[in-house]
Amino acid sequence: MADPTSLLHGLETAAPGSLLGVTELAASPESVALAREFVQKRLRHGHPALYDVTLLVSEVVTNAVMHSESKNTGTVAVAIAESHGRVRVEVIDAGGEIVLPAMVDSDEDDRFAEGGRGLMLVSLISEEWGTFRHEAGKTVWFEVIFKD
């Protein structure tokens, strides 16, 4: 799995923050719950971004587990950092045929569909999000702004 040292990439112009943790999980549906637990332990009860970050991690890890090559090769990594009113999360997977994830266009007829809305939620809730490829696969990242 890729070394998640890129985690501070988006925060490098901000004042120093802290890396709250990195975890490597099996690329299985059960790991989505483990990723949520990881976020909840790192941000702790009462953190103003806890619910938003937990929801978005769930969506992004689900995509990594279901749609990346990690489902065939093993693992997904989750890294979380905090810096002056911002939480940044990166989910690193093995990449795949889909070069980079994209939001699914939604219309009135499919409003009850079970899938395809994860990145739409990421786009709506996060301040910024994006993706990039690297030699080990791809990273999907997002940042959530909060006020103390």
pLDDT recorded at residue 2: 45
Q: Is residue 73 part of a domain?
A: yes
Q: Is residue 50 part of a domain?
A: yes
Q: Is residue 41 part of a domain?
A: yes
Q: Is residue 10 part of a domain?
A: no
Residue 127 φ/ψ, nearest 5 degrees: -70, -45
Q: Is 100 helix (H, G, I), strand (E, B) or coil?
A: coil
pLDDT recorded at residue 15: 45
Q: Is residue 104 part of a domain?
A: yes
Angle between helices 50-67 and 118-125 in degrees, nearest 10? 150
Closest CA to 89 of 44, 118, 133, 49: 49
pLDDT recorded at residue 71: 86
Q: What is the mean pLDDT of each run of 10 residues along the chain (148 residues)?
A: 48 64 96 98 95 97 92 92 95 78 51 61 94 91 92
Q: Is residue 122 part of a domain?
A: yes
Domain count, the chain: 1
Instruction: Please state the pTM of the whole predicted model.
Output: 0.80
Cα distances from 113 to residues 6, 24, 70, 123, 136, in angstroms, run: 34, 30, 25, 19, 32
Q: Is residue 135 part of a domain?
A: yes
Eight-state DSSP code of residue 85: T
Q: What is the CATH number of the domain that holds 68?
A: 3.30.565.10
Q: Which domain holds residue 76?
A: 19-145
pLDDT recorded at residue 16: 59
Q: Is residue 5 part of a domain?
A: no
pLDDT recorded at residue 105: 52
